[in-house]
């Protein structure tokens, strides 16, 4: 039977989306955005028309046909306008609709460097964000706003955005109906390379994920060979998730949807902060470092308020350990706690904590110099190169 967009949406995307839409801070930001919109359109179209070239049917019949096919496959109801802007970086984005019109834009290099099947995946991916209403959880506003979101919300938004990408990828694969082209497309996006330079090997790319999983199953077995956290880790995970999708009934395979979702969860759990829940000495050491590190980062920025402190205490209290909330004392423990993690945990696990610290440090309008000092200190004790911090902070997203 023909599947529609809702049939193939990732379960965890939908569940987290429903939960986040009810979150108090998400609601507050959405109300702010709605008030702005009521004052008049934000001028997306005017902006696009003045900075980008609109791709009309006459200019590119092939791309117009592709768009029509994606619209049909996904049941997009709004009229679509396509734009191209000049950039050497492969990228594409879908905007929240304005004036009952939908806008998708591509970088010039992407249009030139991708085959039509690869492009169809990218277009379907972007339209997927629209059909799944992903704009209803404004991650950008929440994580890059002036106000620091509480740590639990920041981590949930981060987890959700990855599952949202999984759904969008499925929408793209559903449109393209060509899994090799889809994988090549993701490889090009994450490496920035076209096949003219490097022969793409799907097996090698996916094997990168199998390596990660082996490492993860044996924590404490020494530092992993490949620091998978540091180099665009998400793309191979997405390809792996799509290979599971391909084998499922959602794509005409034999596997059940339940098995698919369990498999996807297991793949993405490589990037989940599972140490927040685990009842091991190692996980405890990681939590203790995260707690002290976050307090130090928050305090370095502009002092920590009593309200923020309470939020932190509540968040970590849930994970069954207590700390007297004396900021100065806690700050002095950061290096010692980092050393403890270095002793008890693997390099990857240390990177996980530092990664989560970076995500949260960034979540109040960017990482300031004073915050970076704290992150650098932790990185040094953990033996993680400080370039890792920049990589997380300036992380290239594969696709918007």
Q: Which residues bind Zn ion (CB under 5 A)?
A: 165, 168, 399
Which residue in the block uniquely carries the two structure tokens 């799907």?
202
CA 181, 182, 185, 190 torsion: positive or negative?
A: negative
Pick between residue 13 and residue 150 the one whose CB is nearest to Zn ion: 13
Considering the complex, what minimum distance in angstroms separates the CB of residue 135 from Zn ion? 11
Name the residue whose CB lies closest to Zn ion.
399
Pick between residue 118 and residue 165 the one whose CB is nearest to Zn ion: 165
> Nearest approach, Cβ of 164 to Zn ion (angstroms)?
7
Task: Give the nearest distance from C-beta 128 to Zn ion in angstroms.
Answer: 8
Measured from the CB atom, the residue of 132 and 291 that comes closer to Zn ion is: 132
Supply the minimum distance, in Å, between the C-beta of residue 106 and Zn ion: 13
> What is the rounded CA–CA span in Å between residue 312 and residue 149?
11
Distance CA 21, CA 86 (A): 35
Residue 137 phi, psi (nearest 5): -115, 95
Residue among 214, 126, 148 at smallest CA distance from 398: 126
For residues 124 and 350, which CB has a smaller minimum distance to Zn ion in the complex? 124
Smallest distance from Zn ion to CB 359, Å: 18
The structure tokens listed for 33 are 């955005």
Q: How far is the CB of 342 from Zn ion (least distance, A)?
A: 35
CB atoms within 10 A of CB 356: 23
**Between 165 and 371, CB nearer to Zn ion:** 165
Q: Give the other-Cβ count within 10 Å of 279's Cβ.
A: 8
DSSP string of 250-310? GGTSSB-HHHHHHHHHHHHGGGS-GGGT--SHHHHHHHHHHHHHHHHHHHHHH---HHHHH
> Is the CB of 94 or the CB of 351 nearer to Zn ion?
94
């Amino acid at each position: 039977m023909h599947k529609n967009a809702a049939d193939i949406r990732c379960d965890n995307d939908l569940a987290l989306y429903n939960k986040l839409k009810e979150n108090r801070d998400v609601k507050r930001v959405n109300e702010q955005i709605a008030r702005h919109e009521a004052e008049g359109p934000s001028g997306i179209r005017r902006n696009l028309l003045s900075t980008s070239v609109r791709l009309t049917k006459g200019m590119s019949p092939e791309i117009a046909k592709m768009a029509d096919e994606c619209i049909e496959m996904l049941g997009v109801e709004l009229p679509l306008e396509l734009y191209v802007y000049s950039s050497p970086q492969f990228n594409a984005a879908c905007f929240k609709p304005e004036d009952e019109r939908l806008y998708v834009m591509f970088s010039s290099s992407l249009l030139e460097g991708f085959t039509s099947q690869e492009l169809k995946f990218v277009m379907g991916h972007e339209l997927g964000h629209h059909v799944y209403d992903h704009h209803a959880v404004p991650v950008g506003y929440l994580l890059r706003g002036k106000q620091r979101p509480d740590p639990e919300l920041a981590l949930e938004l981060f987890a959700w955005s990855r599952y949202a990408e999984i759904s969008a990828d499925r929408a793209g694969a559903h449109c393209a109906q060509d899994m090799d082209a889809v994988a090549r497309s993701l490889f090009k996006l994450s490496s920035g390379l076209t096949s003219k330079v490097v022969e793409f090997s799907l097996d090698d790319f996916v094997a990168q994920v199998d390596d990660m999983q082996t490492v993860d199953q044996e924590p404490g077995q020494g530092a992993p060979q490949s620091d998978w956290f540091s180099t665009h880790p998400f793309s191979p995970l997405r390809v792996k998730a799509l290979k599971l999708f391909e084998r499922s009934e959602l794509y005409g395979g034999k596997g059940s949807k339940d098995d698919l979702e369990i498999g996807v969860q297991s793949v993405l759990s490589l990037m989940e902060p599972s140490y927040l829940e685990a009842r091991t000495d190692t996980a405890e050491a990681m939590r203790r470092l995260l707690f002290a590190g976050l307090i130090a980062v928050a305090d370095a920025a502009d002092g920590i308020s009593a309200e923020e402190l309470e939020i932190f205490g509540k968040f970590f209290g849930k994970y069954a350990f207590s700390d007297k909330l004396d900021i100065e004392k806690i700050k002095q423990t950061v290096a010692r706690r980092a050393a403890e993690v270095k002793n008890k945990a693997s390099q990857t696990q240390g990177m996980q904590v530092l990664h989560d610290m970076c995500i949260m440090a960034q979540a109040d309008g960017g990482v300031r110099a004073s915050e970076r000092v704290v992150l650098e200190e932790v990185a040094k004790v953990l033996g993680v190169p400080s370039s890792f911090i920049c990589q997380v902070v300036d992380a290239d997203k594969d696709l918007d």
